[in-house]
Amino acid sequence: MKLSENWLREWVNPAATVEQIAERLVMGGLELEIEPALSETASKVVVGLITRAERHPQADRLQVCEVDAGTGTPLQIVCGAPNARVGIKVPCALVGAELPGGLKITEAQLRGVDSFGMLCSAKELALSDKSDGLLELDADAKVGAPIEQHLGLPDKVLNLEITPNRGDCLSVLGLARDVAALYGVQMKRPAQAQVVVEGHQQIKVEVESVDDCPNYAGRVVSKLNPKARTPDWMRERLRRSGIRCIHPVVDITNYVMLELGQPLHAFDADRLSGSVRVRRARDGEEIRLLNEQLIACRNRELLISDDSGAVALAGVMGGLGSGVQNGTTRIFLESACFAPAAVAGTGRRHKLASDASYRFERGVDPGLQRQALDRATQLVLQICGGETHPVTQVGRSQPDPVSIRLRRSRLVQVLGHEIAAKEVEVLLGRLNITLRAEVGDAWIARVPSYRYDLRIEADLIEEVGRLYGYDRIPGRPYAAQLAPSQAREARRPLLRIKEVAAARGWQEIISLAFVDPALQQALNPEVPAIPLDNPIADNLSVMRTTLWAGLIPAWLYNRARQQDRVRLFEAGVCFTLRGGAVVETSRIAALAAGRALPEQWSSASRPVDFYDLKAELIALLGNSVGEYRFEAAEHAALHPGRSARVRRAGTPCGWIGELHPQLVRRLDLPEAALVYELDWETMRDVKVPKAEALSEFPSSRRDLAIVLPESVSAEQVLHCISGAGVGFLTNVRVFDIYRGKGLAENEKSVALGLLFNDASRTLTLQEIDAASSAITQALMRDLGAVIRQ
């Protein structure tokens, strides 16, 4: 939300600069930045009155205007704006003026006619991004007055980021209340003329549920001047708040919303039929909104309707059929309080965003409606004229008060600092919170209706702390006795895995848990995704079932920025449905693409392959690597011949492999990246290292060459040998693999080095031979191995 400093100072004006006010607000919990009212300002631009306008003798699209700029002598200025005409007041840049962008105004001759200045549009003064003609000013603007004085341009804008719990600060009134409380000064309300009721027209209002709409007020204003124009002072305040001027009545409703925090809506009363109702939508009921979008209502959304059907999406946007038009002369002003739960989600479901829904979702004061309605009526009469009619009000005009018990002992305990009871009462009194002392050390606090965020004792303590000033609370050591539990050596923390990966040149990413449904379907088609009711974007509409759905976009983003060699990993939660319940699984995944090694002179460049990634994963598995097996298997997203399922002690725990060629083509990927993904819970536990004495006796080695089918992996060979039951076999090494002459096409020769040792004695030749024979028999029996001669 953006608000003008000048506007704020009309309500509260502490003896402080805007920078000091901003700093105090930030310390009080409101995040904001200060911006200039204009990025660039013009010099020597004044209010000018066009007194004569004739067609240029040499150009049909130009006019020769005579302008009174308050200089004593009328100026002749050639102008090409289509709306240049006699009687209007416009900005006039005098000779010597400099406009935003560096344009300097000099005497000129256009098609043979002298021109002594320039008539300006809003865009030329940096007041708008685009404009169709001259900026027309109020009829009562003083001729010759500097334009910055007339428009109040010496100003600064407070750009606030309001947290969801502080909806009460979404207005000049709310922000002024907070500034007054922080500085301990009085807030002053600008004078407002009383509204005098002249007519008797009323529109009946019915509210289906007071819980959805606690308060609804409306009134008819007739005999409006359809040619009325929004005055310059209001236009400027709306512009500085980032709101575009549309129509005087609509501008007034926006202005009151910014001023008081109450969203309003104006219906063309002549386009309403019968009574106005606040009700829930029927399933499939349609309404065309002011942005011309036709929506079908669902989930029993809250509507405003008349006898003919829906006329507005309550708290979000009005309907096109009942909206105010240029010829409107009779309006029905609506000032209602809609419950946050009744409005929340409606805009997101239909991809609609409005200032009204932004406020209603955070909570609007249920006692503000009549005051805002009177203020809007007064402005309509002031700007558009007209006749006022009685107010129709339904619901609770005065909301039920909220009372909270505040204990002094709890206040001291939470803040860690004792504040005098009298000062606590003064601080909360600045927020219009009244305290009544109870027996003992407690107060009963009565909270104003506009503070939706104050509901429990801790909320009041926070208010005391921020008004007292966190910088005034001294730092003290904690009084609590902390007894940290001893970490289990057999359970390693996730941080340790991350440190190992980072030390090996990998970079961690953190991606959203919401992913592209098309990408996830391609990567993990067998697991149904969980759709989001209100996705933040169409391409982020499902919960992730695999971390690869975040790694691949991150890789492509980096590659598009000339990062050809990428090593990314992520630890996060994936979401699946089991028996109708959402199950969260912690996983760790990685993606490698590009060269196997950084560019260097000592080795030839080659692309990363399956075994490079497998080596990286083995490095993470640590001393438990012997419990893991990599079995050739097929995955929908992985290359059939370059992928493996990872198991730990027989339990599946993840996948590793190269992306499937078809997937690479379908997703238009630049290359086939390599990925792995493991269940973190199965990786967490590790073997605890055990210290053993070195053997004092010599080891013995036997080399064994066997012929195996190509389909048998080295891991299968090692697993078979370890299962042969030889107790003093200490190590097995695969030191050669041969294919070629003397072997069939689908065979290979594997040379193994078997190391035997016993810590208590020297092994005999017979024991070693028997052990070698047992291993040979196991290989022949389980894998179909043949001893190579």
197 found inside a domain: no
**pTM: predicted TM-score of the whole model, two decimal places:** 0.71
515 and 651 in one domain?
yes
CATH number for position 765 = 3.30.70.380
Domain-located, residue 677: yes
pLDDT of residue 191: 82
Tens of pLDDT along 588-622? 999 999 998 988 888 888 999 999 999 999 999 88
Q: Per residue in 554-588, pLDDT tens?
A: 999 999 999 999 999 999 999 999 888 899 999 99
pLDDT at residue number 401: 82
Residue 189 covered by a domain: no
248 with 379: CB under 8 angstroms? no
Is residue 553's pLDDT more than 90? Answer: yes
Report CA Rg, the chain: 39
Count: domains in the chain: 6
Query: 407-412 — which CB contacts under 8 Å span 24+ positions?
Result: 407/441, 407/442, 407/457, 408/441, 408/442, 408/443, 409/441, 410/457, 410/461, 411/461, 411/464
pLDDT tens digit sequence for 406-460: 999 999 989 989 999 999 999 999 999 999 988 788 999 999 999 989 999 999 9
For residues 364 and 215, membership in a common domain is answered with yes
For 243, phi then psi, to 5°, come to -115, 130
Main-chain phi, psi angles of 527, to 5 degrees: -110, 120
pLDDT given at position 440: 80
Q: Are residues 265 and 125 in the same domain?
A: no
Q: Are residues 162 and 52 in the same domain?
A: no
Same domain, 51 and 26: no
* Cβ-defined contacts of 338-344 (< 8 Å, 24+): 338/212, 338/213, 338/302, 338/314, 338/364, 339/211, 339/212, 339/213, 339/214, 340/452, 342/211, 342/212, 342/213, 342/302, 342/314, 342/315, 343/302, 343/314, 343/315, 343/316
390 and 328 in a common domain: yes
Same domain, 162 and 25: yes
Q: What's the CATH number where 611 sits?
A: 3.30.930.10
User: Quick check: is 79 in a domain?
Assistant: yes
Q: Are 233 and 257 members of one domain?
A: yes
Domain holding 114: CATH number?
2.40.50.140
Mark which of 417, 439, 471 sits at the end of a domain: 471
pLDDT in tens, 652-705: 999 999 999 999 999 999 999 999 999 998 888 888 888 888 888 999 999 999
Residue 193's pLDDT band (cuts 50, 70, 90): confident
Could you tell me if 355 and 420 lie in one domain? no
Q: Establish if 81 belongs to a structural domain.
A: yes
Domain-terminating residue out of 395, 417, 435? 395
Query: Which residues are within 8 A (CB) of 440 and not within 5 positions of it... i.e. 6 or more apart?
Result: none
| 719-733 tens-digit pLDDT | 899 888 888 899 999
| 689 falls within a domain | no
426/409 same-domain check: yes
User: 164: domain range?
Assistant: 2-37+155-183
13 and 96 co-located in one domain: no
In a domain, 477, yes or no: no
Instruction: Supply the CATH number for residue 368's domain.
Output: 3.50.40.10
Banded model confidence at residue 716, pLDDT cuts 50, 70, 90 = confident
- Please check whether residue 483 lies inside any domain of the structure: no
Task: List the CATH number of the domain containing 31.
Answer: 3.30.56.10
Q: Are residues 236 and 368 in the same domain?
A: yes
Place of tokens 């036997």: 702
